[in-house]
Amino acid sequence: MPNLKLQKISTKSQARAGILTTRRGKIKTPFFMPIGTVGAVKTLTYEDLEKLGAQIELSNTYHLMLRPGADYLKKVGGLHKFMNWQKPILTDSGGFQVFSLSKIRKVKDDGVEFQSHLDGKKYFLTPEESINVQLKIGSDIMMVLDECVGNPCEYSVAKTAMIRTTAWAKKCREFLNKKIVQAKNKTAQPLLFGIVQGSLYKDLRLQSAKELKELNFDGYAVGGLAVGEDAKAMYKVLDLVCPELPKDKPKYLMGVGKPEQIVEAVKRGIDMFDCVIPTREARHGRLYEFKNDNLNSKNFYQTCNLLNQKFSRDHKPINANSKFEILRKYSKAYLHHLFKIKEPLAIRLATLNNLEFYLDLMSKIRQDVERGEI
């Protein structure tokens, strides 16, 4: 039975609105996942995330494996209990660290050897172990282990990584199937997503999508984007890949992105997003705010650099329409001051603002899909 129920499909684009069912609840699509890499969204509590309206959060297999450790998390009842978050969690497989931690890892056909950035200890992450760690974490949506390469990339490198990713995906699928057979409760199982790789090469992307479809995953991610290519190249890959993936399965664009990129990706059939932009930009004093409600316009939002001196006397609220009283009552001038004196409260306020913007953006997109405007 499909886990994605489509409620509205646009007549103007490939955009759709639906409900994704997980073992810890239903999620309205399209949606954005705040990133809590090591079990925490920086400066926020999970009560904050509840009030923001977050439906799901994302954590990272590799980093949680190092600290506090998968066995510890299993012992205390999983990541949900550890951080008091009862809604769904998606865990990346550690595949992105193949790209981001390239200086401290070695990729082999049977897995990846990492040298911990914490203490130098070596870890060998196989496809099976990646799934095993995610099971111990208690993930609701698990990702297969993949090899992510940067763009631009030589064809031979992209092809080797794509073939390896498919082989690992098969091992992940087989390992999880065995675990489900062995499980006492076979009705409440996590979802497993395959990841389409192939860099910017048409034949590799099509081959990856075809082979992953044959493994019948619960959902499909498009990986290896937002890693060096421009937006036009990204959209070209989405235009190619999305129609090749099952219509009744969720589509996830990993690590993307800017607000206008999210809108464009939804128009191409993407249902799920995550990105560090709202929280990372917040830490650097940049705020996101809407200029208008026309998401089809080029300038529906703007960013404000609160470090700019012009905001030192700007007594308008951080966000007059926020659901958070502190964002309605504190001024941009005060937030500018907090950044200048390096007060941690500055990052918390900016993070609340930016995640509220991103989650409100997803609500606006869904409404526009339902109204036939996207």
Integer-rounded Cα Rg, in Å, for the chain is: 20
Q: Using CB atoms within 10 A of its CB, is residue 53 exposed (0-12), middle (13-18) or buried (19+)?
A: middle
| Active site residues per annotation | 92, 274
**Within the chain, where are the H helices?**
46-52, 61-66, 70-75, 79-83, 95-100, 127-137, 155-182, 202-213, 231-241, 259-267, 277-283, 325-329, 332-340, 345-371
C-alpha closest to that of 30 among 273, 355, 371, 301: 273
Cα–Cα distance for residue pair 33/254, rounded to 1 Å: 10
Q: Using CB atoms within 10 A of its CB, is residue 2 exposed (0-12), middle (13-18) or buried (19+)?
A: middle
> How many Å separate Cα 66 from the centre of its chain?
20
C-alpha closest to that of 41 among 321, 278, 293, 346: 278
**Residue 15: strand, helix, or coil:** coil
For residue 312, what are the contacts with CB-CB under 8 A and spacing of at least 6? Answer: 333, 336, 337
Cα–Cα distance for residue pair 132/160, rounded to 1 Å: 25
Which residue matches tokens 């109204």? 371
CA-based angle 7:12:16, to the nearest 5?
25
C-alpha closest to that of 356 among 305, 314, 319: 319
